[in-house]
């Protein structure tokens, strides 16, 4: 999982992190210095989450992953957790609508960052 995505999930939770990548994924997002309720950031994710984002990243530009890539990262992290807890390739493949070969390939990819919290 991309480091910026891990940080956003830790700070905001999965739902608000997904709102961000759904709206601004694949772009650079400038985080304003003040959380204004009329700013697009607050309108997309709510003022409280916007305030948390501003407290952490005020004045910085975040490079957000595309929504599709973020969703794949979340799915792969979930598959890794299931495999680590003893689930078979077959059961994981059925759960996610994939074949066993694809699951094996996705699990073989190196995991980036902490994936336990996703």
Q: How many domains does the chain have?
A: 2
User: Mean pLDDT over residues 32-53, rounded?
Assistant: 94
pLDDT at 59: 97
Has residue 16 been placed in a domain? yes
> What is the DSSP secondary structure assignment for residue 63, as one 8-state letter?
E
| Residue 112 scores a pLDDT above 80 | no
The pLDDT score that the predictor gives to residue 117 is 44
Q: Are residues 72 and 98 in the same domain?
A: yes
Here the tokens at position 111 are 């995991």
Confidence of residue 99 (pLDDT cuts 50, 70, 90): very high
Question: In DSSP terms, which residues pair with 62 in a beta bridge?
Answer: 29
The candidate with the shortest Cα–Cα distance to 16, out of 64, 59, 58, is 64
Rounded Cα–Cα distance for residues 110 and 88 (Å): 19
Last residue of a domain, one of 65, 82, 98: 65
Question: Range of 96's domain?
Answer: 68-108
Specify whether the CB–CB gap between 44 and 20 falls below 8 A: yes
Region 10-34 average pLDDT: 94
Q: Which position has the token pair 């990819």?
A: 109
Containing H/E element for 114?
none
Taking only the tens place, the pLDDT of each residue in 45-74 is 999 999 999 999 999 999 999 999 999 999
CB 38 within 8 A of CB 44: no
The whole-number pLDDT of residue 2 equals 85
Instruction: State residue 110's pLDDT score.
Output: 82
């Amino acid at each position: 999982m991309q480091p910026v995505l891990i940080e956003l999930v830790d700070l905001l939770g999965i739902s608000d992190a997904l709102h961000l990548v759904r709206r601004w994924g694949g772009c650079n997002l400038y985080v304003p210095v003040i959380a204004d309720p009329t700013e697009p950031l607050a309108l997309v994710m709510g003022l409280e989450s916007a305030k948390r984002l501003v407290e952490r990243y005020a004045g910085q530009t975040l490079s957000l992953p595309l929504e599709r890539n973020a969703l794949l990262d979340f799915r792969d992290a979930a598959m890794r957790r299931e495999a680590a807890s003893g689930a078979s390739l077959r059961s994981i493949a059925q759960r996610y609508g994939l074949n066993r070969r694809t699951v094996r390939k996705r699990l073989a990819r190196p995991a980036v960052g902490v994936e336990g919290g996703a």
